[in-house]
Amino acid sequence: MDVNTFYELRTRLYATAAAGCGLIAEDFRLKRALEAFKPMSEANKVFGRLYQMCEKLFHTENVAGELADCIALADALAVTQGSFLDKSECVEEEDKLCLKPQIIANRYLEEVKTTLSKGEINIQHDVQKDIQLMLEPRVFLCFIQNLKQETDSTRSLAEVLLPHLGEAIIPVLKKQIDLETNSAKNKTAYYIRLICQLFGYQENDWYLSLIEEEGYPKSIRVAAVNALGCSEKNVPKLLELYKTQKGDVKTAVILVLAKLDPPEAEDIWKKITKKYMVPSSDSAYDLPQSTIKVIEQSKSDICAEFARKLVVDAIEMGKRRYGNKSKITTAETRCFNLAIRTICRKPQLEDCFMLLAENYKYIEVLNTTFYSRLNPRNDLNQALISNLLEEDERYIEMIKNLYKVHKEFYFPARFFLALKEKGNYAFMEYMEEIYDNRDDVINILRSISYDCIQGGYYLSWWCISDMGYNYQSRSRLKIFEEISEEVFSFITDTSYFAPEKQDKNIATKLTKCQRACSKKTKDTIRTVIQLFDGWLRYHITGSKEYQKCVNTALKFAFAVNKYCSTGAEIDILVDYYANGTPEEYRDMFTNYSIQSILSGDGHIWSIHMKGKLESMPLSYEDRKKALLEVKEIIEQFENIDEKNKKEMLSKTDQVLKSTYTT
Partner 1 sequence: MSKTAEMITEELIRSLAPNQNAIANAQKISRTGGFSTLYQTENKDLIFGECKGSGKSGYHTSADFSGDTPVFRCSCPSRQFPCKHSLAIMYEWVNGKNFEVAEVPEDVAKKREKITKRKEKAKEEEKNGPKKPSKTSLAAAKKKLQKQLEGLELAETFVTDLLNRGVSSINGSSSASYKNLAKQLGDYYLPELQAIMMEIITVAEELSEQPDDKELNRLVMLCVRLSSSVKKSKEYILTKLESDNVQPEDSILYEAMGGIWKLTQLKEIGLYKENARIVQLSFTVLDDSIHKAYVETGYWIDLDSGEISRTENIRPYKSAKHIKSEDSAFGVYHIPVLYRYPGGINRRIRWEGMEQTDLEDKNYEEILNKAESSIGEAVKKAKNELKNTLSEQVCAMLLPFDNIKFAATDGHGVLQYQGESIGLRANENYREVCNILHLEPEEVLENGALLGELFYDAETRKIYVCPVSIVTEKGIAVLC
Closest contact distance (angstroms) between CB of 156 and partner 1 is 22
Beta carbons within 8 Å of 267's beta carbon, 6+ residues apart: none
3-class secondary-structure state, position 460 = strand
Environment class of residue 247 by beta-carbon count within 10 Å: exposed (0-12), middle (13-18) or buried (19+)? exposed
Check if the beta carbon of residue 655 is closer than 8 Å to that of residue 605.
no
Q: Is 45 in the site for partner 1 (CB under 8 A)?
A: no
Whichever of 205 and 621 has its CB closer to partner 1, that residue is 621
Q: x/- binding map, residues 161-200, to partner 1, per CB under 8 A?
A: -----------x--x-------------------------
Burial 464-486 (b: 16+ CB within 10 A, else e): bbbeeebbbbbbeeebbebbbee
Q: What does the angle CA 318 – CA 320 – CA 326 come to, to the nearest 5 degrees?
A: 90
Q: Which of 380, 363, 486 is nearest to 433 (CA)?
A: 486
Q: Is 120 in the site for partner 1 (CB under 8 A)?
A: no
Closest contact distance (angstroms) between CB of 455 and partner 1 is 26
Q: Which of residues 568-587 bind partner 1 (CB under 8 A)?
A: 578-579, 581-582
Q: Which stretch binds partner 1 (CB under 8 A): 135-143, 337-345, 420-428, 441-449?
A: 135-143
Closest contact distance (angstroms) between CB of 99 and partner 1 is 5
Please name the residue ranges forming H helices in 228-329.
235-244, 247-260, 266-274, 289-297, 301-321
Q: Is 35 in the site for partner 1 (CB under 8 A)?
A: no
Q: Which of residues 617-656 bind partner 1 (CB under 8 A)?
A: 617-621
Cα 136 from Cα 367, distance rounded (Å):
51
Q: Is 374 in the site for partner 1 (CB under 8 A)?
A: no
Closest contact distance (angstroms) between CB of 305 and partner 1 is 53
Q: Which of 579, 535, 578 is nearest to 553 (CA)?
A: 535
Closest contact distance (angstroms) between CB of 4 and partner 1 is 10
Taking CB under 8 A as the criterion, the residue among 51, 140, 353, 415 binding partner 1 is: 140
Residue type, 295: I
Q: x/- binding map, residues 62-101, to partner 1, per CB under 8 A?
A: xxxx-xxx-xx--xxxxxxxxxxxxxxxxxxx--xxxxxx
Q: x/- binding map, residues 3-32, to partner 1, per CB under 8 A?
A: ----x------x--xxxxxx----------
Whichever of 59 and 87 has its CB closer to partner 1, that residue is 87
Beta carbons within 8 Å of 493's beta carbon, 6+ residues apart: 435, 438
Closest contact distance (angstroms) between CB of 174 and partner 1 is 11
Q: How many CB atoms lie within 10 A of CB 501?
A: 6
Whichever of 65 and 468 has its CB closer to partner 1, that residue is 65
Whichever of 289 and 661 has its CB closer to partner 1, that residue is 661
Cα 657 from Cα 662, distance rounded (Å):
9
Query: For residue 448, what is the enclosing H or E element?
Result: strand 448-450
Closest contact distance (angstroms) between CB of 18 and partner 1 is 5
- Which residue ranges make up the site for partner 1 (CB under 8 A)? 7, 14, 17-22, 62-65, 67-69, 71-72, 75-93, 96-101, 103-107, 110-111, 137-138, 140-141, 172, 175, 578-579, 581-582, 617-621, 662
